[in-house]
Structure formats: structure tokens, C-alpha cells
Structure 1
């Protein structure tokens, strides 16, 4: 846009020569030729085309002397391409036209010289401005790219930190469960035994109710401790680490795992998915000739999804069966039936496809709060 303004100013300044000359067809034709050349110079970036068109236009001034009035605009294109030799040739030809003029030679020479210097200054200013603008755009792009990379690294760090915090939380739950089981549980067991011994040797009827209440309270405390320990242990299961361990230990064929689930997965779903993955890997090794297997665990806003498939050959129908179990052996049928029961107990659906390999597709809805 700046180059259009510069060339427009130079062409406009050339019209000041009309103050001492009347416009004629030669002036109008020279203006149109200069305008066409400037348009070509702006649209195309081929310096060779600029050189050829500019030399043709300058040579045309031998037939149209008025064309020398628009030489500064033509020189602007040459300055833009750093073609200084054609500028010198045009300057010589311009001087020839000025000498050939019948009057106002000095004024015409000074005016064209001033416009030529102005053309050079405008071109240099625009060139520097464009370079600064390119540097600014490059700096802005680099800054944006670095910000994106930094944001991605921060996201990965936060995700890694959350994963480590989650793993540490599960380990701490396991440690607390062990401490309660090993220390408090043993103390309560000892207290229950001592209470039972005291009841056995007690001969005073006044202490019977006291010992009975004490024994009842200790047993209730033991039951509560066991429930808490089991809950802590169940909640401390890390689904991702467990599934990674199962797939890494599976030696029958390579298993590709795609895990995309959050941290807060209900323990019932954890144990359901772990059991189904164990049974599926066992079925693949015993009943399939698969060379590849794929396991996908994904969490959606309203449901949990598990997909297990392989490329092995299976017998049976190739149609999709929802809630129906078809297998090539009694043991495999029992395993699939157990999977179906587990999924249905969580109000989920089980789909089995045996057309191209074997595929299990399980969805379990989330509980609505």
C-alpha cells in the first residue's frame, strides 16, 4: 500500500508541469503509459520484466518527449529493484529532452531532479519500513510460537504433576490401609481375644453384661476397620498403571494401548474394566491366532468406554450381537458371560463383533448426580 501511495504522489507531482504547459494528447498518452507501467511494477515482482518494460517506456520518450515528466515515477520502480544503470540512462535521456525544450529549461530540470531525489527517498523509506514490518511479523510469529510451546509445556507439566499427585495419593492410601491393618487391626484382634478369655474365666454375674458389651463394641470396631481398609485399598487402585502392567506382561502378541480417562473413576468400573481386560487377553492367547491387539479406554462426558479388538480368526457369526455371547469353546463362553454380567450390573452395554477379528465394545453410563 505504501508503494502505491509513493507512485501516486510522484505521478501527481508531475502534473505541476501543467502550470506552464497546456495539456495535450501527448501529455495524456504519457500519463497513461506511466500509469500502466507503475501498475505492472506493483502487481509483478519480476525485476527483469520491470527492466524490459521500463527501458521500452524510456525509449518511447523519443517519440513522446512529454514522457520525461513522468520519469521520476518510472525511476521509483528501478530504485525498488536496485537497477541504477537504467536510472542513469533515463537521466541522460531526460537531460536531452530538457536541452531540446524551447523554454523553461532550468525550471524543468530542477523540477525533474527534485522529483527524482524524492523518488529515491520515498523508495528507501518504504523499503526500510517494509523490512521493519517483516521483522516485526517474524518476531510476532516467533513469540506466538514460543507462547504456544510454553503453553503446551505448562499443560504437560500440570498433567504430569496431577498424575504424580494422583499416584502419590493412591500410594498414601495403600500405606494407611496397611498401617491400619497391621497395627490397629492386630490390637483390636488381641483385645477381642483377651475379652473372650475374660468372659471364659469370669465367675461374677455382675461383669457378664460389661464383658458382653465390650466384646460387641470391639467386634463392631473390627468390622468398621476392615470395611475402611477394604475401601481404602479399592480406591487406591490405579487403573492406568494396572492396565499398562497387564499389557506389558502380555507376550502372545503386541498390544497397543490408548488410555484417555480421568483420575476419578469409580472403583466398581475400575475392577470391571480390569477383569474384562484380563479375561480378554487370556482369550486372545488361548483361542485366537491374532498378531495384533488394541485396547482403548476413553472417558466421555456421560459414559465410560472400553474397546478391545484383535485381528485373529474366530469362529461363529460375523454379525454384531448385543448382550449375546457366542464362542468356540465352553470356557470362552463362560468368560464372555461373566463379562456380560459385570457390565449389566453397572447398567452398561456389551457389543461383540466377530466379522473381522474379535471386538468387544463396552459402554457404561456415569451416575447422574
Structure 2
């Protein structure tokens, strides 16, 4: 757009020669030639610059160079073409054709300096004006290109930085989640090993006291103490079991199962958040154990694939292999029956496919 603006301005400037010469047929011919040639040169331009800082042509790299040079030679045979030389000089300057600019200067001087000196000054000024505008446009194009490149690079770096930050945040959340589960497991173990043993010893001691007690006045207090200790022990057991169940890290367990599977390599794709219901955790762990065991016993697969993914409304598990031997001729195998029972308990569905290997597809809805 900037090039078109410059050329329109120079065309208007060239019409200023009407102040010093008449608009005859040769003038109109010079005008049409200059406009047609300038439009053709613009058509072959592309916005961009070469390593030397010169605008490159779109299809024929030498077309603009030769055309502007031939126009300079034509000035010596058709002097009236000098009247629109500033318009073509703009293109010559844009492609760095300095020999053509020298020919324009010589042609204008030969045509005008002796007959119409004021026209010579007008055209020479127009020649320098065209060179100045072309240089300014080249600088503007270069800066604009650099700006767009810098902006694109900045956007790319920002996106990359955002991805890195998100990965760090996800990893930090996972580390916190893992540390929390380990701490719960440690607390459960400490309660079981210390408080549980102390309560067990207290219950045994109360039982011994009840056995050797001969005073009826102490029967009721000892019975109450025994009941309290047993209730405390039951509560401790329940709390320890809950803590242990909640401390199970599904991802670590699944990665341990697939990493320790020596029959064939297993490709794991895990995309589940931290907040997984306990029943779903143990269901998936049990099914993965049973599925990998069946692959090792009944399949000749060389590779297995395990996918655990969380969707907005359900959890998904897909276990498949590339074996050619079916693990079971029917769906009545004990392992598959157990899988179906576990999945149906959670109101899920289990589908089996034997095309291109054995595949188990499980979907458990979120409650």
C-alpha cells in the first residue's frame, strides 16, 4: 500500500511538467508508457527484501533490472519519456539499479538543460524525490518485517513459556499429591504400629484383670473399660484402613505394574486427575493386574497398550495387545467374569474385542 501511495504521489508530480510543456500526442504516449511500465514493475514486486536489502521480484528476478535499464536507454531515442522518469526511477531505486538512475540523469540533462532549464531542475528534483521515497519505503518495509518477526517470535516464546509453566505447575501438583498420600500412609502405619499395639496390650491386660478379679464392685468398671478399649480399637482399625485406602496413588501403582511386566513392553497412556474414587482405583488396579496376567498366560503378543483416561462424565480403561492368539474362546473365563462383576458393581460397562489382537474396553460413570 505504501508503494502505491508513493507512486501515485510521483505520478501527480510528473503531471507538473505540464507547466513547462504542452500536452500533445507524444506527452500522452509518454504518460501511458510510464504508467504501464510502472504497473508492470509493481506487479513483479513482492513485499520482502533480499540479503542485500533489495526488493525481490515475484517470478523473474532479472525482469525489473533489465526493464528499468532499457527505459534509461530509450530516453536517448524518445526524449519525451523523460517527463515521467521520476515514476520509473522509484522502481529502479527500489531494486538498486544505480546504472539505470545514472542513465536517467544523463537523459534528462541531454533533453532539458539547453532548451528548458527550469524543466531540467523540476525533473532532477523529481528524480531525487523518487529515490528518497523508495529508500524510505525500503526502510519502512524492513522495519515492518522485523516487527512482525519479532512479534511472532515473542508470541511463540510466550506460548512455550506458558507450556513450561503449566508443566511445572502440573508436576508440582503431582509432587504435592504424592507427598500427601505418602504422609497419610506413614500416619496409618504409625497408628497401627504404636497406638494399635498399645491398645491391644491394654485390652489383654483388662482381660487378665477381669479373669483374676474377685471383687464384684470392679466387674462393671472393668467391663466398661474393656468395651471402651475395644471400641477404640475398632475405630483405630477403621481409620487406619481408610487412610491406607486413600493413600493409594493410582498412577504410581499402574506405572509399577506396567514397568514390572516382563512378558512384553507395555505402552501406558495415563490421563486421570488426582481425585479418583477409592472404588474406581481398586477396580482399575485389579483389572490391570488380571489383564496383564491373561496376556502373559494366553497371548503371543509382542506389545501391549494400556490407556487410562478421565472424561467429563466417566472414567475409561482400555487394555489391548497385538497378539494373534485369543486369550479365551468365550467370555466365560473366571478372570473376565470377575472383571465384569467389578465393573457392574460400579454401574460401568465392559466390552471385549478380538479384532487385531485382544482388547478390553471399560467405562465407569462418575457418581
- TM-score normalised by L of structure 2: 0.92
The yes-or-no answer on 1:326 pairing with 2:331 is: yes
Q: Is the 8 A contact 2:298 2:327 kept in 1?
A: no
Q: Distance in 1 between matches of 2:327 and 2:3?
A: 76
**Equivalent of 1:65 in 76, 79, 97:** 79
Mapping for residues 356-367 of structure 1, pairs under 5 Å: 356-367=356-367
Match of 1:322 in 2: none
**Equivalent of 1:249 in 245, 253, 260:** 260
Mapping for residues 211-230 of structure 1, pairs under 5 Å: 211-230=222-241
Mapping for residues 1-369 of structure 1, pairs under 5 Å: 1-45=1-45, 46=57, 47-62=61-76, 64-99=78-113, 101=115, 105-315=116-326, 326=331, 333-367=333-367
Q: Is the 8 A contact 1:177 1:229 kept in 2?
A: yes
Q: Distance in 2 between matches of 1:38 and 1:174?
A: 82
Q: Distance in 2 between matches of 1:218 and 1:27?
A: 118
User: RMSD of the TM alignment (CA)?
Assistant: 1.8
What is the Cα deviation at residue 148 of structure 1?
1.1
Q: 1:214-262: CA deviations, max 9, x gaps?
A: 1111111111110110111111111111111111111111111111111
In structure 2, relative to structure 1, the CA distance for the partners of 1:58 and 1:89 (3 Å cut) is closer
What is the Cα deviation at residue 42 of structure 1?
1.9
Q: Distance in 2 between matches of 1:202 and 1:245?
A: 54
Runs of 5+ unmatched residues, structure 2:
46-56
Q: Is the 8 A contact 1:26 1:64 kept in 2?
A: no
Runs of 5+ unmatched residues, structure 1:
319-324, 328-332
Aligned residues: 353
What is the Cα deviation at residue 63 of structure 1?
5.6
- Secondary structure at the counterpart of residue 306 of structure 1: strand
Q: Distance in 1 between matches of 2:326 and 2:350?
A: 19
Q: Which moved more, 1:347-356 or 1:35-44?
A: 35-44
- Secondary structure at the counterpart of residue 304 of structure 1: strand
Q: Distance in 1 between matches of 2:95 and 2:327?
A: 76
- Secondary structure at the counterpart of residue 86 of structure 1: helix
Q: Distance in 2 between matches of 1:271 and 1:251?
A: 22
- TM-score normalised by L of structure 1: 0.91
Q: Distance in 2 between matches of 1:283 and 1:201?
A: 57
Q: Distance in 1 between matches of 2:23 and 2:11?
A: 15
Q: Distance in 2 between matches of 1:316 and 1:262?
A: 31
